[in-house]
Structure 1
Amino acid sequence: MNTMASFLFCGPKLAACGIVLSIWGVIMLSMLGIFFSTHSAVLIEDVPFREEDMHNVQNPLLPIYELYNQVGYNCFIAAGIYVLVGALSFCQVRLNKRKEYLVH
């Protein structure tokens, strides 16, 4: 019992909230990652390009596409972090259930 309590650092409501937010974060960031990776024109305002990036004589869109891919990759990394947070929140829910079961 004492060992289990040392890993428990949030209550059941906060853990459940963490799961809900993680699910939403994974869905949202995965979709954004897909849309950035397919170079969606709607998201051009969210690509951090400069005026110099468009002065490539051979292929002016290549630097822009590379920036799109980098932002998409960052979205996938953030979605992965949300998966880890969701797993941690799930573990907290389970520990809270076990604590409640042992107390009663």
Structure 2
Amino acid sequence: MPVCGPKLSICGIILSIWGIIQLGLMGIFYFFGAVALSEDLPEVEFEPNMELSDFYSKIDAGYTQNAYNCWIAALLYLATLVFSAQQFWANNRSSLSV
């Protein structure tokens, strides 16, 4: 049973593919600690009594958490892709049987 029309389902497919690619790549770059993405990390302040290794471990934890967040969002886009593809298929099937 179609819930959305053929144009909206194609739009959902295209946006989902782009979201999967972009967020998948951003997740990879966060996972490997790309310096260009450091502005989007949770704020970590270096305290006078903090060891440098603790500071680096907090930074690494921020990179890892952002990578996981990107991959979770990419999986949500994958679910949207599956739904949009099913809707596109349902619309094409109903238009052929009429």
User: What is the match of residue 62 of structure 1?
Assistant: 57
Q: What amino acid does structure 2 have at the position aligned with 1:87? A: V
**8 Å contact kept, 2:44–2:58:** no
Greater RCO between the two (CA within 8 Å, min separation 6)?
2
Q: What amino acid does structure 1 have at the position aligned with 2:95? A: E
Output the CA distance in 1 between the equivalents of 2:61 and 2:33. 9
* Among 32, 37, 43, the residue aligned to 1:43: 37
Q: TM-score normalized by structure 2?
A: 0.92
RMSD of aligned C-alpha atoms? 1.0
Identity of aligned residues (%): 40
User: What is the match of residue 4 of structure 2?
Assistant: 10
Please tell me whether residue 21 in structure 1 is matched to residue 4 in structure 2. no
User: What is the match of residue 74 of structure 1?
Assistant: 69
Structure 2 unmatched runs, 5+: none
Structure 1 unmatched runs, 5+: none
Question: How many pairs align?
Answer: 95
CA-to-partner distance for each residue in 1:6-31, whole Å, 9 max, x for gaps? Answer: xx110000000000000000000000
